[in-house]
Amino acid sequence: MTQTEQPVELAPGTQPEGRGGRGPAALGFLREAALLPVLAVILVVGAVISPVFLTTDNLLAGVGQQVSALGVTVVGESLILLIGGMDLSLESTYGLAPMIAAWLIVPRAAFGSGLMLNPYIGILIVFAIGAAVGLVNGLLIVKARLNGFIVTLGMTVLLAGLQNGSVQGQSPYQLPQPFGFLGTEYLGKVPLSLVVAAVVFVVAGLFLRYHRTGRAIYAIGGNAEAARAAGIRVDRVRIGVYVAGSMLAALGGLLEAGRVSSVTGDQGYQEGIIFTVFAAAVIGGVSLQGGKGTMLGAASGVVLLGLVQNIINLSNAPNYWQLAINGGVILFALVLARIVGGESSAEKG
């Protein structure tokens, strides 16, 4: 067995969550299910506020399609958090990647460049931009050893400027059908974007649980030096996670562009989606200190925030109260999940 083939379980205290490495399996399940009481309360509140809330159309289109793009981005951020990092620039990648692609494929009359590239090439460009941004972030943080918060903060502002500067503040529209397909099409009554988000969550969850690199991600977040001693190529894995996270943010931006049939200058950075992304991950049990969390928990956080926003919309709550309501619900969910999950949902001391 070569050094790189040694099982990551050799690193003490770095077992993946939910695999029994940090306590009984029951505690892992309890942590994953900690948001269920909160979700139950929200469902009851929504049903009382509006008779439309629990209808299939509202839950699939009003909630499911709305949170799909956010959910894919949350998976990307969660992976980065699991290795003990963070990436503020995902929100700008979410806007810039589809913006540049749309600018290259739509006509000048629709605020494009006039190059009229094939939309399938445009989709490749979306992912290429995501990969490039993630690679630069990873190299600066891992190899140059620069502060991750400052690097990704600077990248956030840089990408946001490029997003608006490339189109001079305009919003390209008339997106060709293939480019917006994932964000607009339905499979029966189910939005295709929701299917895509669900597949991303499931694949990421299975990867983390069963693949050697997935288990290495938990090991690195738990104790990077122990992981390195166990034969894990820590730097390579960390850079790869930054690339994967950024590509998922680009996919999220593509889904959102398809949903609204345009790429606006506000998409991503101006909307401040990174706060919602972090909130969904953290209330779902993904630790900001790394090494702890699951995709099931992250998905629960996304669903919770989506339901809350839907209830706010259905109740016609004044815009100036919406931020306060969202913030209050996030704090309530954190406290209740902590009570239900006990020590298994606590942050490291």
User: From residue 281, how far is each of 24, 35, 285 by CA, in Å?
Assistant: 23, 12, 7
In the predicted structure, residue 347 carries a pLDDT above the cut 70? no
Q: CB-hemisphere CA count at 13 Å for 259?
A: 21
Domain ranges of the chain: 3-345
Both tokens of 30, joined, read: 């309890």
pLDDT > 70: percent of the chain: 86
How confident is the model over 289-293, as a mean pLDDT? 90
- Helix ranges (H only) for the chain are 25-32, 36-49, 56-57, 65-82, 90-105, 119-138, 148-165, 177-184, 192-210, 212-222, 224-229, 234-260, 273-283, 295-314, 319-341
pLDDT more than 90, % of the chain: 70
Q: Among 20-24, 52-56, 166-170, 197-201, name the one with the lowest average pLDDT.
A: 20-24
Which residues in 55-66 are b (16+ Cβ under 10 Å) and which e? eeebbbbbbbbb
Rounded to whole angstroms, how far apart are CA atoms 201 and 69?
Answer: 12
pLDDT tens digits, one per residue of 84-134: 999 999 999 999 999 999 999 999 999 999 899 999 999 999 999 999 999
Q: What is the pLDDT of residues 138-194, one digit of tens each?
A: 999 999 999 999 999 999 999 999 999 999 889 999 999 999 999 999 999 999 999
Residue 1: pLDDT band by 50, 70, 90 thresholds? very low
- CATH assignment, 3-345: 1.10.3470
> Could you tell me if 282 and 298 are in contact, meaning their C-beta atoms sit under 8 angstroms apart?
no
Question: Span 291-308, mean pLDDT?
Answer: 92
* pLDDT score for 321: 80
**pLDDT band at residue 35, thresholds of 50, 70 and 90?**
confident
Task: Record the pTM.
Answer: 0.89
> Where does the pLDDT of residue 30 fall: very low under 50, low under 70, confident under 90, or very high at 90 and above?
low
Per-residue HEC secondary structure of 178-228 comes to HHHHHHHCEECCEEHHHHHHHHHHHHHHHHHHHCHHHHHHHHHHHCHHHHH
Which pLDDT score, from 0 to 100, does residue 342 have?
A: 56
pLDDT higher than threshold 60 for residue 19? no
- Evaluate if residue 5 carries a pLDDT over 50: no
pLDDT band of residue 29 (cuts 50, 70, 90) is: low
**Burial class (CB within 10 angstroms; exposed 0-12, middle 13-18, buried 19+) of 19:** middle
pLDDT beyond 70 at 349:
no
